[in-house]
Amino acid sequence: MDKNLAQEQPVWPKKTRELYNHHMDSTFWNGFPFREDDIVIGTHIKSGTTWVQQIVTQLIWNGAEDLPVAQLSPWIDLRVPEKAVKLAAVEAQAHRRVLKTHLPVDALVFSP
C-alpha cells in the first residue's frame, strides 16, 4: 500500500448551504453535538424513511414491539418543536440515538 494513502485522513463533505422551507430548517444541525455511536438516517422525502427507522430501532432494541419510533428517532431539521426544545430532548436521550433527516448532503453537517 502506498504510504501516502495510508496516512491520509478521510475528507468529510462540507456544508455549503442552508435549506429552509415550510417543513425543514438545516440550521438545526449547526453545532449539533454528535455522539460517537449516533446513527443518522438521511433519505429523500417519501422514500421509505419511516420503514428504515423502524428497521434500525428494531435492531437496536432487539425486536421490541410497539416502539415509539418518532420519539426514539426524531427528525432533527423539522421546524417543530422549536430548535431549543428539540435539541434538549435529543440531548437527554440516554440510548443510542437514531436521527432522521431529509436534507440533501450539501446542507448537512458531518462529524467523524
pTM: 0.85
In whole angstroms, give the CA distance from residue 81 to residue 84. 8
Burial category of 36 from C-beta neighbours within 10 Å (exposed 0-12, middle 13-18, buried 19 and up) = exposed
Catalytic one among 22, 23, 44, 102? 102
Give CA–CA dist 112/97, Å, rounded. Answer: 16
Confidence of residue 2 (pLDDT cuts 50, 70, 90): low
What is the total residue count of the chain?
112
Which residue's C-alpha cell is 501516502?
4
Say what the pLDDT of residue 32 is. 95
Residue 46 grid cell: 417519501
| pLDDT tens column, 78-95 | 999 999 999 999 999 999
Task: Give the pLDDT confidence score for residue 42 in this predicted structure.
Answer: 94
Per the annotation, the verdict on 102 as an active-site residue is: yes
> Tell me: the pLDDT tens digits for 34-85?
999 999 999 999 999 999 999 999 999 999 989 999 999 999 999 999 999 9
